[in-house]
């Protein structure tokens, strides 16, 4: 296969604006293509935004934000203007694109899916995946997907697969991609993923639950923060999950996280009745990180391109600033590790284990019979007979 250059866009959307976020995405694709990228990757639900409000606001306060999300979500089929524009950019520039989006469907005005598209360098959609199960508070926005998108795209730049955020915790979903010879695994993530109010807010919650003064088994003050006010360490957790997959699949990993913009903080806090606390929580939340991993699960050093000098500046990850992180990958490096553990081949007991994956696309109804237009065409007058 030779070398492939991957560009991971550590970027924020223009919050809840599909049109402006699409324009930003195309400008990033153009920049990455100028810098020699073959594959350009975007975060989870990049168009139009990640519904972070559901983490920090009660559902009764979120109706207006959900309505905005539904209206700004995009169609993933051929009639969707945003996806059509990105497909055209991929075709014009000759690059592959992986992009997360909140997908709306024509069967409903409010059923949304957390989706990801892998678009070929000819502009064709190679993989259209819907997240199998929304995680935690994501269920307030997205419906469960199906197995249709558990596919690996066979491209001139390698066999590329994607799972969205928490799906990378699902060993069966990961194995389904391994079993298709995946060489580059894209895992897409949000900018932040708070699971509780931290700081003083968390201390207040612990006092209300009577957890203050808990002791460990030796009688000393408990030091573990798990379940006692600790927020989710998404950088460590995301890297752990992605590294496990890379080590087991002997593939490269692309972790692409979003960046939290000031517009997202303002919109999430506004009208909540708790504006200052929510804004402070989002500003202080741990940011997701964008990075690369090699087929052993180890960190693969990347670089950013200096816009003034065009110099390649070594960078292990992007977290607290927007930008495009690049890495060059030699897909022949996926071979050696399979001598030791090829979990879909020589290191698997196919006579003992069997996995069945249903990749049918689920629809809300199965309509049978002729359409109204076809029926109307049959109700015509015979030229030699005045009866219908």
Beta pairing class for 96-104 and 39-41 = parallel
Q: Are 235 and 285 in contact (CB under 8 A)?
A: no
User: Six-digit token pair at 172?
Assistant: 């069966």
Find all residues with CB under 8 Å of 226, minimum gap 6, and list them. Answer: none
Q: What is the rounded distance in angstroms from the CA atom of residue 289 to the CA atom of residue 270?
A: 26
- pLDDT per residue, tens digit, the chain (388 aa), is 579 999 999 999 999 999 999 999 999 999 999 999 999 999 999 999 999 999 999 999 999 999 999 999 999 987 799 999 999 999 999 999 999 999 999 999 999 999 999 999 999 999 999 999 999 999 999 999 999 999 999 999 999 999 999 999 999 999 999 999 999 999 999 999 998 887 544 443 334 344 443 333 333 333 333 445 578 898 999 999 999 999 999 999 999 999 999 999 999 999 999 999 999 999 999 999 999 999 999 999 999 999 999 999 999 999 999 999 999 999 999 999 999 999 999 999 999 999 999 999 999 999 998 766 655 555 444 444 444 3
Beta pairing class for 317-318 and 290-293 = antiparallel
| pTM of the full structure | 0.89
Alpha helices in the chain (DSSP H): 18-34, 53-56, 63-72, 81-93, 171-178, 199-208, 234-249, 262-269, 275-284, 372-378
Beta strands in 105-146 (DSSP E): 112-119, 125-130
For residues 126-160, b (16+ Cβ closer than 10 Å) or e, as one string? bbbbbbbebbebbeebbbebbbebbbbbebebbbb
Angle between helices 18-34 and 81-93 (to 10 degrees): 10
DSSP letter string, 317-356? EE-SS-EEEEEEEEGGGGSGGGGT--TTTTT--TTT----
Residue holding tokens 């324009």?
Answer: 23
- How confident is the model at residue 218, as a pLDDT? 37
The closest of 144, 133, 125, 147 to 76, measured between CA atoms, is 125
Peptide bond into 48 cis (omega under 30): yes
- How confident is the model at residue 52, as a pLDDT? 97
> By three-state DSSP, how is residue 152 classified?
coil
Q: Are 287 and 260 in contact (CB under 8 A)?
A: yes
């Amino acid at each position: 296969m030779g070398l492939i250059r991957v560009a991971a866009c550590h970027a924020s959307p223009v919050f809840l604006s599909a049109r402006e976020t699409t324009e930003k995405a195309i400008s990033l694709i153009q920049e990455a293509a100028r810098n020699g990228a073959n594959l350009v990757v975007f975060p989870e639900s990049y168009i139009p935004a990640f519904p972070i409000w559901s983490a920090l606001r009660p559902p009764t306060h979120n109706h207006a934000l959900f309505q905005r999300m539904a209206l700004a979500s995009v169609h993933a089929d051929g009639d969707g203007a945003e996806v059509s524009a990105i497909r055209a950019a991929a075709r014009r520039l000759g690059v592959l694109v992986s992009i997360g989006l909140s997908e709306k469907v024509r069967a409903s005005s409010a059923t949304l899916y957390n989706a990801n598209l892998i678009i070929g360098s000819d502009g064709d959609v190679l993989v259209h995946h819907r997240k199998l199960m929304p995680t935690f508070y994501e269920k307030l926005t997205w419906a469960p997907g199906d197995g249709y998108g558990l596919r690996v795209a066979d491209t001139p730049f390698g066999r590329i697969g994607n799972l969205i955020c928490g799906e990378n915790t699902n060993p069966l979903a990961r194995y389904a991609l391994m079993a298709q010879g995946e060489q580059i695994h894209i895992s897409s993530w949000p900018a932040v993923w708070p699971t509780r109010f931290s700081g003083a807010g968390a201390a207040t919650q612990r006092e209300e639950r009577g957890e203050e003064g808990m002791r460990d088994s030796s009688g000393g003050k408990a030091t573990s923060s798990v379940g006692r006010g600790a927020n989710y360490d998404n950088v460590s957790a995301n890297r752990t999950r992605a590294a496990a997959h890379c080590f087991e699949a002997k593939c490269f990993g692309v972790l692409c996280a979003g960046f939290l913009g000031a517009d997202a903080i303002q919109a999430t806090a506004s009208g909540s009745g708790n504006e200052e606390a929510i804004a402070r929580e989002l500003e202080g939340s741990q940011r997701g990180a964008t990075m690369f991993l090699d087929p052993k699960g180890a960190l693969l050093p990347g670089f950013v391109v200096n816009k003034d000098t065009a110099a390649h500046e070594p960078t292990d990850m992007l977290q607290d600033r927007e930008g495009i992180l690049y890495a060059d990958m030699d897909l022949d490096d996926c071979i050696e590790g399979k001598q030791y553990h090829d979990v879909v081949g020589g290191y698997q007991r196919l006579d003992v284990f069997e996995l069945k994956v249903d990749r049918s696309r689920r629809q809300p109804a199965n309509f049978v019979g002729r359409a109204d237009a076809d029926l109307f065409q049959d109700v015509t007058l015979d030229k030699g007979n005045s009866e219908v």
